[in-house]
Amino acid sequence: MTVGTKAVIDRAVIFALAAVFILQQLTQWGPLVYVLGGLSFMAVLLLLPKLKGIALWLSLFFMAGGVVLMLAQQAAAAYWFKAASMNATLVTLFVFAPLFGIPVRLPDYVAALKRFYETRMRSTTALFIGTQLMTHIMGGFINVGSIPVVYHLVFVKPRSGHLSGLLANALNRGFGGAICWSPYFAAMALVTSALKLNWSALLPYLIGLSLISLLVSLAVDFKQLRAKDEASELAASQTDELSQEVVEVTTVAPSTKATQAIENQRGQSMEKEHERRASFPMGLAIYLLCATAAILLLEQLIELPMVLITCMGAVVFPLLWCLAKGALPTFRQGLKNHLTVTLPALQKEITLFLAAGFFSGSIGATGFGNVIPSLLGHMPLPIAWSFSIFTIVMIAATSLIGLHPIVLVTILATSIDPAVVQISPIYFAVLLLGSWGLSNPISPASAVNNLLAGLFNKSVFELARPNYRFAAVMGLALLLYLMMI
């Protein structure tokens, strides 16, 4: 079998899995669970040989561990297939959600963003905040694809080179913040489907959490940012003084002085006009707002799971937008790139998430959801507090050693009844999403850290290390925020 033929088969199985999941959600026909589980097993078997390193070993461990637990519990065949399809939701999201990012890459928008960065991001602090916000917003729509886009915008200025460490932090934390609120991420699909919540019900709390993430990030690096700003101001003032001295000691004819004054004034006027025009691209801002509003509106009008609404929006809305902009070639190119580049690049995540879903389903058969509350009940704290601390620490600690947050989040979301630990489903959802978001920048296994490692020519541990303090402070902030809501 040729490589091309195998790639076509892999894609066909992934698309079939997504199609059957959508059909099962629409019809609720029982036998489709067996078909969906069978396709999930087939996808894992087909994609496992393509994995390497920790992703391969984790996937093998999850599959083997799941089989052992299922056999030990003597689970029925129906439970095997149901467990195998536990994370079919996420695969469906991988197939459709990236289409939302196609209009973001329209040449006009990218050019306007470059001008915006060139003229508006003057100070180090502004550059840091702007980069984190931009990654936060763009990441919410184009996922990991936002990292190279924002990276090339940031380094359009040569002066950004000596700020690489701070800017890497901004990119990393901005993406982690997007995980907390975006309806197009696996985290949101998993949590809302497991807890049967609407995204719109969570959104006000998640926006608050995202703002807290930005403030914590700024506070953690504030001293370093301030030092960089002061150094830049000092260098600029010294340059101005030197230029003034050169002007004073240089003999220039009166007419030449007048000409220079006019040219300087004209240059300043042109620079101000350039800055005035270099505002954030309104077309892009309108697209992002409309895409979010469309999802919110559909969620209110149609009684369907959030994942299906997101898939519908991802197919229709970008196409309509590109039609209105006369940019169908861009849409076709984006669709082709998704099928031939983006989707194959997600095979590691697809395999890992399906294997983790099977493992978490097998753990559910052991009654794990009843064990944790009984153990936490012995702690001298209200159970809601002890469970919150346990969740944040466990997700962050396991991420720190290379375990993807999907594993623990899936296990907790599908095994723990919020009422048993005296919290509401909304509280539980914010806890899980916030823990996932703060753990992403410190994980050596995260896609973002590995991508940034290649862009900045550093190891993943070098990139993760500056975020340890951020994750610790963010964990405390998340606890306080949860107690408030």
Q: Tell me: the pLDDT tens digits for 337-353?
A: 888 888 887 888 889 88
Instruction: Write down the pLDDT at residue 273.
Output: 47
Output 411 or 472, whichever has higher pLDDT: 472
**pLDDT category of residue 271 using cuts at 50, 70 and 90:** very low
Tell me the average pLDDT across 455-463: 84
**The pTM is what?**
0.81
Instruction: Write down the pLDDT at residue 474.
Output: 96
- 301 burial type by CB count under 10 A (0-12 exposed, 13-18 middle, 19+ buried): exposed
The full DSSP string for 35-75 is: HHHHHHHHHHHHHGGG--HHHHHHHHHHHHHHHHHHHHHT-
For the ranges 10-19, 115-124, 229-238, 243-252, the lowest mean pLDDT is seen at: 243-252
Whether the Cβ atoms of residue 184 and residue 101 lie closer than 8 Å to each other: no
Indicate whether 265 pLDDT > 50. Answer: yes
- 374 burial type by CB count under 10 A (0-12 exposed, 13-18 middle, 19+ buried): exposed
Instruction: Write down the pLDDT at residue 243.
Output: 55
Q: CA 360 to CA 381: how far, in whole Å?
A: 28
Average pLDDT for the chain: 83
Q: Which of 462, 481, 437 is nearest to 173 (CA)?
A: 437
Q: Tell me: the pLDDT tens digits for 63-85?
A: 999 999 999 888 888 889 998 99
Whether the Cβ atoms of residue 378 and residue 432 lie closer than 8 Å to each other: no
Q: Tell me: the pLDDT tens digits for 134-151?
A: 888 888 887 777 888 788
Indicate whether 260 pLDDT > 60. Answer: no
Q: Tell me: the pLDDT tens digits for 358-374?
A: 988 888 777 777 788 88
Q: Which of 36, 307, 356, 91 is nearest to 197 (CA)?
A: 307
For the ranges 248-252, 279-283, 297-301, 385-389, the lowest mean pLDDT is seen at: 248-252
Q: In one letter, which amino acid is 281? A: P
**pLDDT category of residue 41 using cuts at 50, 70 and 90:** very high
